[in-house]
């Protein structure tokens, strides 16, 4: 049953990793001046660059939080189902053992039949858990696409309106002055247009 437990647990971990990676990939950078980034458009030919903190964005953007909660619920469902199937298999296995030890099997055929049934239960449980995991991964990918599209579309529009040539992630640099951080403006803008996703 360790395999089933691993399958169930791995989905939530994968969800967290993919969500973080996708957010980083979807926005080729974000963050702007905390004071008045709109007034910082350059007229002398110099590039205007701002940055965002990806971790803060993921922690504060309501859509990202909703997706994280949805994937946690799915992970809990997987874990619950894995425990349920595991308990059924363990219970039947114990019944076989007790019956065998108490000479409850009158024929070898009846013992073999129960052994075959136990083996089929294990196979069915493994296949079922694999299907649930695939479904969860597909759901995660859909959420991931939705999150990427939402952030990328907003960043593109926001950068054009502000006159920024580039918005990058804080993690992509060694040092960035906080006055070029536009994380709060981006998060506020994202949340302003946010529509709560349907819980599954």
* Of 37, 64, 62, the residue nearest 166 (C-alpha): 37
Beta-bridge mates of residue 181: 51
19 in helix, strand or coil? Answer: helix
169 in helix, strand or coil? Answer: strand
pTM: 0.65
* pLDDT-derived band at 195, boundaries 50, 70, 90: confident
Question: What is the Cα–Cα distance from 38 to 150, expressed in whole angstroms?
Answer: 22
Element (H, E) at 95: helix 62-101
pLDDT digits (tens, 9 = 90+) for 105-118: 999 999 999 999 99
pLDDT at residue 62 in the model: 95
Element (H, E) at 6: helix 2-26
pLDDT at residue 34 in the model: 36
pLDDT digits (tens, 9 = 90+) for 29-83: 443 333 344 445 455 678 999 999 999 999 999 999 999 999 999 999 999 999 9
Cα-to-chain-centroid distance, residue 123: 28
How many Å is the Cα radius of gyration of the chain? Answer: 26
* Strand ranges inside the chain, DSSP E: 49-52, 166-169
CA distance readout (Å), 42 to 38, 39, 48, 162, 163: 10, 9, 6, 11, 8
CA distance readout (Å), 140 to 13, 22, 63, 187, 196: 11, 11, 13, 22, 16
* Strand ranges inside 105-185, DSSP E: 166-169
Establish how many alpha carbons lie within 13 A of residue 36's alpha carbon, considering only the half-sphere containing its beta carbon: 2
* pLDDT-derived band at 4, boundaries 50, 70, 90: very low
């Amino acid at each position: 049953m360790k395999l089933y437990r691993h399958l169930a647990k791995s989905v939530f971990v994968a969800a967290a990793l993919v969500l973080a990676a996708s957010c980083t990939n979807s926005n080729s950078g974000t963050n702007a001046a905390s004071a008045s980034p709109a007034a910082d458009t350059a007229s002398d030919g110099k590039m205007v660059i701002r940055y965002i903190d990806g971790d803060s964005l993921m922690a504060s953007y309501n859509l990202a939080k909703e997706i994280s909660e949805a994937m946690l619920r799915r992970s809990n469902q997987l874990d619950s189902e894995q425990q349920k199937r595991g308990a059924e298999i363990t219970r039947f296995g114990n019944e076989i053992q007790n019956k065998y030890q108490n000479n409850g099997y009158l024929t070898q055929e009846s013992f073999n039949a129960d052994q075959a049934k136990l083996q089929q239960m294990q196979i069915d449980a493994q296949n079922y858990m694999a299907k649930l995991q695939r479904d969860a991964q597909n759901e995660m990918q859909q959420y991931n696409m939705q999150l990427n599209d939402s952030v990328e579309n907003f960043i593109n529009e926001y950068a054009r309106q502000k006159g920024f040539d580039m918005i990058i992630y804080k993690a992509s640099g060694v040092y960035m002055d906080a006055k070029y951080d536009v994380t709060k403006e981006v998060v506020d803008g994202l949340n302003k247009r946010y529509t709560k996703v349907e819980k599954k």
